Structure 1
Amino acid sequence: MSLLYVFLIFLLGSVIQGIAGFGLAIFAMPLLPFIMPLKTAAVLVVFASFFIAVQVALQLRKHINIKLLVFPVIALLIGRIVGVHVLMSYKESILKVLLGYTLILLSIYFAFYKNKISIKGSNRNGAIAGLISGVTGGIFNIGGPPLSIYYLVATEEKMEYNANLQVTLVFSAVFSIILHFLYGNVNVETLKLSSVGIIGATLGCYIGLAIFKKLNSNMLSKIIYTFMIIMGIIMIIQR
């Protein structure tokens, strides 16, 4: 039953990501802790996120701007160390509350402020975005929004934006996997569950991209934001 649950979560989460461009970790991280520890859930999500990001990055490799990656990636790796340390050091009840508030804040950001926040594409801002992304990604694997904001203003067209975002997420996921190995979070059971999650995520991406061409993205966004707020409240209440 747990394998089916994991498969369905990653399938649906990846469908959302394929349609909206984000959402796998945001969808999976509140739901997985119902059947497993938060630390185990983090491992599953980072493996699936790595697999998806690699696929997209390879498809967009011609649009990668290496110079643009340096500051965000270095800062992100530092942030990941901090984030994973927090994940391993604090009580799960505290982290679940933190995750709940993070989901609520992210939903508010995407619903009301995504297109209103304006920053310059400088190395300093790239480092700041990378650091914030690294910390939140290390704890919850939810590190996309800060990088998304930065790359939107630092790149000239959408292909370059997506290519650099995905490559940064690949670095982030690889480093997180190494840290989880060092902390002893990766074992036979997590690898088995991760393989099921990867299969679900891969299938979900193809479905999501197919739906993307037909679905009203504004309506979907409202559904996702509402879901995020509800799950955030549940995580806070069930601490």
Structure 2
Amino acid sequence: MMEQTALQLFVLSIGASFVQRTTGFGFGIFIMTMLPAIMPSYGEATTLSGILAMTTSAIIVAQKYKYVNWPRLWPILLTFIIVSFGAIFVLKRMEYGILSILLGITLVAVSIYFAFFSKQIKVKTTMPVQVTAGALSGVMGGFFGMQGPPAVLYFVSSEPDKEHYLAQTQTYFLVGNVMMTLARAYNGFFTSAVGMGYVYGITGVLIGNLMGAWVFRHITGNLLKYIIYAYIGISGLTFLFG
């Protein structure tokens, strides 16, 4: 049984890390479709997802750090940290069924809207926009361990090219996951099962990162946007029919 769990975590980590490295997000969306069935509790699943995603982001940030623009990053990042902390602290008292349905509908609608109207959408790096994106991301990160879509839609529309986009998103996810991991540990979600899961998954993270880096070098900025919109839509469908 333990060998089967180790293999499942290894394969899931390859897929999740590949998606994250290729599109700039999606680790949690990919792995959380199956991880809760493997881990002892939902809280432990979100914790393991967070620390594996944190490792993926750390590798990318080390490679792309020179592209990080901190003035554009701090407002959305600080908002995310505050809101996600609140979400994690009420996680034990939440019912996920209705929230999952609403989240799925929202993700599908947003992906369709951006796919067809992205050329007309010009996201400005204003404080209200950053705070709104950070708050939505915080809610999704705290409750579901998948804070990507709101932040990604902001960064992919506001950053000048795919290198800046990747640097901004991965720095955002790295810092955010560090802070959420501390909050989850405080709430008792960082257990020995999470530690063993990390051991099983870390090699898969490294392999998926290498595969995704190769793909990222060969896709254009416009194609990247449509891949992102499509993946957000697919993730919404998993919530509705998973």
TM-score range normalised by the length of the shorter chain: 0.7 to 0.9
Q: What amino acid does structure 1 have at the position aligned with 2:16?
A: G
2:191 is aligned with 1:184: no
Find 2:72's aligned residue among 68, 78, 82. 68
Number of the residue aligned with 1:99 = 100
- C-alpha distance in 2 between matches for 1:195 and 1:23: 21
Deviation at 1:143, TM superposition (A): 1.3
Distance 1:108 1:202, change over 3 A: farther
User: Are the counterparts in 1 of residues 28 and 145 from structure 2 also a CA contact under 8 Å?
Assistant: yes
User: Are the counterparts in 1 of residues 49 and 145 from structure 2 also a CA contact under 8 Å?
Assistant: yes
- C-alpha distance in 2 between matches for 1:134 and 1:222: 20
Q: What amino acid does structure 2 have at the position aligned with 1:8?
A: V
Unmatched 5+ stretches in structure 2: none
Number of the residue aligned with 2:151 = 147
Q: What amino acid does structure 2 have at the position aligned with 1:45?
A: S
User: Are the counterparts in 2 of residues 11 and 200 from structure 1 also a CA contact under 8 Å?
Assistant: yes
Distance 1:107 1:206, change over 3 A: farther
Number of the residue aligned with 2:160 = 156
Q: What amino acid does structure 2 have at the position aligned with 1:44?
A: L
Number of the residue aligned with 1:80 = 84
Number of the residue aligned with 2:110 = 109
- C-alpha distance in 2 between matches for 1:111 and 1:128: 20
Q: What amino acid does structure 1 have at the position aligned with 2:100?
A: L
User: Are the counterparts in 2 of residues 13 and 204 from structure 1 also a CA contact under 8 Å?
Assistant: yes
* Aligned residue pair count: 232
Number of the residue aligned with 1:46 = 50
Number of the residue aligned with 1:14 = 17
Unmatched 5+ stretches in structure 1: none
Q: What amino acid does structure 2 have at the position aligned with 1:6?
A: L
RMSD, aligned CA: 2.7
- C-alpha distance in 2 between matches for 1:125 and 1:222: 19
Which shifted more, 52-61 or 191-200?
191-200
Deviation at 1:191, TM superposition (A): 0.8
Which shifted more, 65-74 or 39-48?
65-74
- C-alpha distance in 2 between matches for 1:88 and 1:20: 31
Q: Deviations over 1:166-225 (max 9, x none)?
A: 111111001001001100111222111022222212211212333456789699779856
Number of the residue aligned with 1:165 = 169
Which shifted more, 184-193 or 210-219?
210-219
Deviation at 1:135, TM superposition (A): 1.4
Deviation at 1:133, TM superposition (A): 0.8
Distance 1:19 1:103, change over 3 A: farther
Find 1:2's aligned residue among 5, 9, 20. 5
- C-alpha distance in 1 between matches for 2:189 and 2:84: 15
Deviation at 1:89, TM superposition (A): 2.2
Deviation at 1:117, TM superposition (A): 4.2
User: Are the counterparts in 1 of residues 149 and 232 from structure 2 also a CA contact under 8 Å?
Assistant: no
Q: What amino acid does structure 2 have at the position aligned with 1:11?
A: I
Task: Give the TM-score, by structure 1 length.
Answer: 0.84
Q: What amino acid does structure 1 have at the position aligned with 2:99?
A: L
Q: Identity across aligned pairs (percent)?
A: 22
2:208 is aligned with 1:204: yes
Which shifted more, 155-164 or 189-198?
155-164
Distance 1:117 1:31, change over 3 A: farther
- C-alpha distance in 2 between matches for 1:225 and 1:163: 20
User: Are the counterparts in 1 of residues 123 and 157 from structure 2 also a CA contact under 8 Å?
Assistant: yes
Q: What amino acid does structure 2 have at the position aligned with 1:110?
A: S
- C-alpha distance in 2 between matches for 1:82 and 1:121: 25
Number of the residue aligned with 1:24 = 27
Deviation at 1:50, TM superposition (A): 0.6
